[in-house]
Amino acid sequence: MPTNTVMRLQRTKGKHPSLHHAQSEKPVILFPAIDLKDGACVRLKLGDMAAATVFNDDPAAQALAFERQGFRYLHIVDLNGAFAGRPVNAPAVEAILKAITMPCQLGGGIRDMATVEMWLAKGIGRVILGTVAVRNPALVREACGKFPGRIVVGIDAKGGRVATEGWAETSELTVIDMARRFEDAGVAAIIYTDIDRDGVLAGLNLPSTLALARATSIPVIASGGLASMADIDALASPECAILEGAISGRALYDGRIDPAAALARLARR
C-alpha cells in the first residue's frame, strides 16, 4: 500500500466500518473523543487520572450530541480499563452503542482475544490494542487475521518512546519501530498519541505524526493536543492528506473548536 494513499471509513451494515482506498478528495476524519472514567465522560491532563475534568455524566447523551453535530465516527476510551487491564466501563459503552448509529472505535483494557470478540459482537466497529500490542504482538496479528479491517493499534508516546499500562510505564521501543512491527499484519490504522500534549491544548504534534505516517504504510490517526481551528486548518492542508484522521477531545467540549465549521473546512480539502 503506498504511503500517499488516503484511507476512509465508511458505514456498512450495522455499525461496522470498512476501509477502502481513495486517491483524491477524501477529507481527514475528525473523531470526537469520549473518555470514560467511573461511568462519566471526562478529559485528563497529560494522562493523569487524578486530573480528570468531568464534562458530561451521561456519555450516551454526549455521543448522541456528537452524532447530531455531523460527526461520522466516534472514538471511545475506557480509561479505568486501561489501568485495570480489563473492561470497566462496559455499561457506559453499551449505552453509547444503543444511543447512536455512527460506528465507534474503542480502546482501553482490551488485552485478550475474548475481549476483542466480545466488543466486536456488541457492535463496536474497531477495537484499539495498545499495551497488549507491545506485550503480545502475536495477539494483534491473530486478531487482524480473524477480524480484517477491525483492529487498530494505539501507539502512545512520551519523548518518542512507547508508553503502556494506561501511560503509567514507558518502554524502550520507539514509535516508528513499534509501527513497523505490524507493517504486514493487516492493522486497519495506528492511533498516535503524543502524551506530553494530551489534554493541555498545546496543538497537535504534526511533525512527529507525519514522520510516522511517512515511515509506515498503515494509515495514521493523530491524537493529543488538538487545540483550535488552526489545527483544523493544518489538517486540511495537502501535507496532511496522508493522515486518516485526528481525534479531538477537550477543544470540542470547551468550545475552542466549532463542530460545523471544523467539519466544513475538512470537507473542502
CA 93 to CA 104: how far, in whole Å?
Answer: 10
Phi/psi zone of residue 96: left (φ > 0), alpha (ψ -120 to 50 degrees), beta? alpha
List residues with catalytic annotation: 35, 156
d(CA 221, CA 205): 12
What is the total residue count of the chain?
269
> Nearest CA to 221 among 88, 22, 42, 32?
32
Pairwise CA distance, residues 252 & 26, whole Å: 22
Measured in whole angstroms, how far is the alpha carbon of residue 62 from the centre of its chain?
Answer: 17
Cβ atoms within 10 Å of 265's Cβ, excluding its own? 18
